[in-house]
Amino acid sequence: MGLFDRHAGLLDAYRDVRTTGYDPFQIRMERVLSPTKAIINGRETLLVGTNNYFGLTFDRSCMDAAIEAIEAEGTGTTGSRIANGSYTEHVALEREIAEFYGKKHCMVFTTGYQANLGVISTLAGPDDFLLIDADSHASIYDACKMTQAEVVRFKHNDPSSLEARLRRLGDKPGNRVVVLEGIYSMLGDRAPLGDFVNVCKKYGAYVLIDEAHSLGALGDHGRGLCEVAGVIDDCHFIVGTFSKTLGAIGGYCVSDDPDFDILRVTVRAYMFTASLPPSIVASVRQALRVVKARPELRTQLWDNVATLYDGLKAQGFTLGPEHGPVVGVHLPDRMTAIGFWRAMLDAGIYVNVAVPPATPNGVSLLRCSLCAVHTKEQLDHMVEVMTGIGRQFGVLPDKQLRAAGAR
């Protein structure tokens, strides 16, 4: 058997995708012009699929901070924190994130993926129990492959399903660690966090929440779903990423646990990879200041969510269950999703296409993510374009046909 034979099924599916002309997994941004525009296939394209929720990738103050840091401290750290030491700015960034949440400790990672992978796989050890939401991000699933703890999934966003699993553990010794996400990355839906926290309290379980898509977007101060639900103190570990709202790259975990720092010498995804370069640390610190100083960006983001979500809903599209910075549009099957995605690209709009096995319950989706600096005109135009394509593809009823049939 050849090395790649076991991927035969996937290769077939991938070939199907590519027959549509473009390969959604190898899109080339020939030139990125702004948080909402890029040149793709030689044409100016509206970006509605880049998780750039506040549009800070081109924020003047963040860019200046990064440039200054490069001038001052160079382009890279060329090693990990334990090997090459921490720069003053790494430590300052950790302190600022901890303060942002009112938590005592923070560890910064080179990506959010590594933060989840490292923290989750290390927190729960042999004889412990890890309980994860069925729709968890790949980084959480991968952590489960690495952990020595027993892993059980519970039904997505279903506190009673979690409770049944905690109850079944009975009085077995071992820590219980429950992993949740603030906003889920495919459909933009939120966890019923208050209910989950109550269940966890009842069974003495630790709560780890990944606020990757909710940092900045949710809460009066942008701390995420834990702020909205008023349970920051009950979330023992809050993980997040710098790669979305903060417009750069990197991940973090905050906690009040007095022994938290032991993770610095136990989490391999922290110990054995190079630390963030000075430019990134500087732009992230500045982006965090912007998040605090400009709450209007959050308002703009949600106004834009309403424009797109309500606009598509009114046209008859089937969407994720609630408003979110991610708007997932359900399509009947994989090939329709890919064809639809391609037609949108031809019309100058870039979104993500998500098809099984990357999606929960085998659904096929167009995954749109909004930006505070999208304009209402851009989004109204997008709804129009999607409505047109939806009729062409038979996803929405064709008005003319319906009228003709009625006669």
Ligand X SMILES: Cc1ncc(COP(=O)(O)O)c(C=O)c1O
Provide the minimum distance between the beta carbon of 176 and other proteins in the complex, in angstroms, as a whole number: 12
Report what 137 binds from ligand X, other proteins, none; CB cut-off 5-8 Å by kind.
ligand X
Alpha carbon distance 165, 16 (integer Å): 39
Report what 110 binds from ligand X, other proteins, none; CB cut-off 5-8 Å by kind.
none
> Total residues contacting ligand X (rule CB under 6 A)?
14
Report what 245 binds from ligand X, other proteins, none; CB cut-off 5-8 Å by kind.
none
Q: Which of these segments, 52-60, 72-80, 145-153, 286-294, binds other proteins (CB under 8 A)?
A: 145-153
In which residue are the tokens 């941004």 written? 29
Interface with ligand X, residue 210, by CB under 6 A: yes
With CB under 6 A as the contact rule, the residue among 98, 123, 143, 212 that binds ligand X is 212
The residues with which 153 forms a beta bridge, in sequence order, are 132
Q: Nearer to other proteins by C-beta: 147 or 307?
A: 147
Provide the minimum distance between the beta carbon of 316 and other proteins in the complex, in angstroms, as a whole number: 28
Interface with ligand X, residue 110, by CB under 6 A: no
Render 51-80 in DSSP notation, one character per residue.
Answer: --TT-GGG-HHHHHHHHHHHHHH-S---S-
Q: Which of these segments, 26-34, 107-115, 145-153, 194-202, binds ligand X (CB under 6 A)?
A: 107-115
Please give the helix or strand (H or E) that residue 117 lies within, else none. helix 112-123
Alpha carbon distance 218, 232 (integer Å): 13
With CB under 8 A as the contact rule, the residue among 83, 138, 164, 262 that binds other proteins is 164
Report what 164 binds from ligand X, other proteins, none; CB cut-off 5-8 Å by kind.
other proteins
Contact 247, 287 (CB under 8 A): yes
Alpha carbon distance 383, 373 (integer Å): 17
Within residues 131-170, the interface with ligand X by CB under 6 A covers 137, 139
Give the chain's end-to-end CA distance (angstroms, integer). Answer: 61
Contacts 24+ apart (CB under 8 A), 99-105: 100/221, 100/223, 100/288, 100/292, 101/223, 101/232, 101/238, 101/254, 102/232, 103/232, 103/238, 103/254, 103/255, 103/256, 104/255, 104/256, 104/258, 104/260, 105/254, 105/255, 105/256, 105/257, 105/260, 105/261
Q: Nearer to other proteins by C-beta: 144 or 389?
A: 144
* Among the listed residues 324, 322, 320, 317, the one whose alpha carbon sits nearest the alpha carbon of residue 386: 317
Provide the minimum distance between the beta carbon of 235 and other proteins in the complex, in angstroms, as a whole number: 24
Say which residues have a Cβ less than 8 Å from residue 115's Cβ, sequence separation at least 6.
Answer: 107, 109, 139, 239, 240, 241, 251, 252, 253, 269
Interface with ligand X, residue 181, by CB under 6 A: yes
Report what 251 binds from other proteins, ligand X, none; CB cut-off 5-8 Å by kind.
ligand X
Q: Nearer to other proteins by C-beta: 132 or 371?
A: 132
Say which residues have a Cβ less than 8 Å from residue 102's Cβ, sequence separation at least 6.
Answer: 232
Contact 247, 34 (CB under 8 A): no
Report what 169 binds from other proteins, ligand X, none; CB cut-off 5-8 Å by kind.
other proteins
- Which residue number places its CB atom closest to ligand X? 112
Interface with other proteins, residue 155, by CB under 8 A: yes
Q: Nearer to ligand X by C-beta: 213 or 342?
A: 213
State the binding string over 320-359 for other proteins (x if CB under 8 A, else -): ------------------------------------xx--
With CB under 8 A as the contact rule, the residue among 15, 168, 402, 407 that binds other proteins is 168
Render 349-362 in DSSP notation, one character per residue.
Answer: EE-EEE-TTSSGGG
Alpha carbon distance 144, 138 (integer Å): 10
Within residues 358-397, the interface with other proteins by CB under 8 A covers 360-362
Q: Which of these segments, 23-31, 83-91, 111-119, 304-312, binds ligand X (CB under 6 A)?
A: 111-119
* Among the listed residues 214, 272, 210, the one whose alpha carbon sits nearest the alpha carbon of residue 246: 214
> Total residues contacting other proteins (rule CB under 8 A)?
20
In which residue are the tokens 């995420």 written? 224
**Which residues contribute to the site for ligand X (CB under 6 A)?**
111-113, 116, 137, 139, 181, 185, 210, 212-213, 241, 243, 251
